[in-house]
Amino acid sequence: MRAFIFPGQGSQSVGMGKTLAETSPAARAVLEEVDAALGQSLARLMAEGPADELTLTENAQPAIMANAIATLRAAGIDLAGKARFVAGHSLGEYTALCAAGTFDLTTTARLLKTRGLAMQAAVPVGDGAMAALLGADLAVAQAVVDAAAQGEVCAVANDNDPSQVVISGSKAAVERALEIAKEKGAKRAILLPVSAPFHCALMQPAADAMAGALAGVAMAPPAVPLYANVTAEPVESVDTIRELLIEQVTGIVRWRESVANMAAAGVTHFVEFGGKVLGPMVKRIAPDAQVTNVVTMDDIDALVKEI
């Protein structure tokens, strides 16, 4: 049994999508549709940079989605016939829903542009921070943020795998957490080069913006169930998906639990489209699972032959 999974922010790189678009008409059509939806040449930015502009949240989010969907469509795979579930990390949840037919491509691109702008605008630059706790599990991370908050926002943002948890919040609280993490046994605690504190209560203005954006869009039930970030459980109801996408902006990404629950449900093969970020996490969560990363045309050709 397979699950198709889709990466989140941080997986962008200059050159992404370029060879796909040159080689596959289906991939090129994806990038052209996204450009038209956004009224900008995102495909050129993806192919040529500059890197600092591509890394901007408002560009990185639709770019990562476009690249993953281009990869999937270049493969020409019938998702419902080849995958039992879909899942995505943070913004990757929108990609997963696009792949499963809940949102069309144009809608997905516009939602992610709105989401990126709203998340960036929610907190003034410099007021928030995020940090990765390495060699720490969820229980340790929760103890760290509880001790570090001291009346400010400090929360677990991403429970990525058994040895990597990301925290988020006000800058002072996250900086306190760096020292506390070492005292509580984390191997390393490092600030992340991000422009905003994602997946914590400081993102409430962005959650409100997404509530408005999602209220008016057409949605269809996904072709296969989505394992949702905030519940780590499968969901198919359109109304529930909408609510969870809003909650996701401020809520924890329960990736470790999602993968573990998919494995417990019988998934033995995880296929990551458009990146190589989630695969290593999956192997740390479900060591016996097969993981395939699909990024290049050679990867696509190998996958098509395999499945």
**Residues labelled as active-site residues:** 90, 199
Going by DSSP bridges, is the β-strand pair 290-294/269-273 parallel, antiparallel, or unpaired?
A: parallel
Distance (Å, whole) CA 72 – CA 145: 38
DSSP code, position 83: -
Provide the H-helix boundaries in the chain.
18-23, 25-38, 42-48, 51-55, 57-75, 79-82, 92-99, 105-121, 138-149, 171-183, 204-215, 238-250, 255-264, 278-285, 297-306
The residue type of 75 is: A
Residues 98/69, Cβ–Cβ less than 8 Å: yes
Residues 5/269, Cβ–Cβ less than 8 Å: no
Distance (Å, whole) CA 100 – CA 96: 6
Give CA angle at 66 (65, 70), nearest 5°. 120
DSSP states of 136-167 as a string?
Answer: --HHHHHHHHHHHHTTS-EEEEEEEETTEEEE
**By three-state DSSP, how is residue 272 classified?**
strand
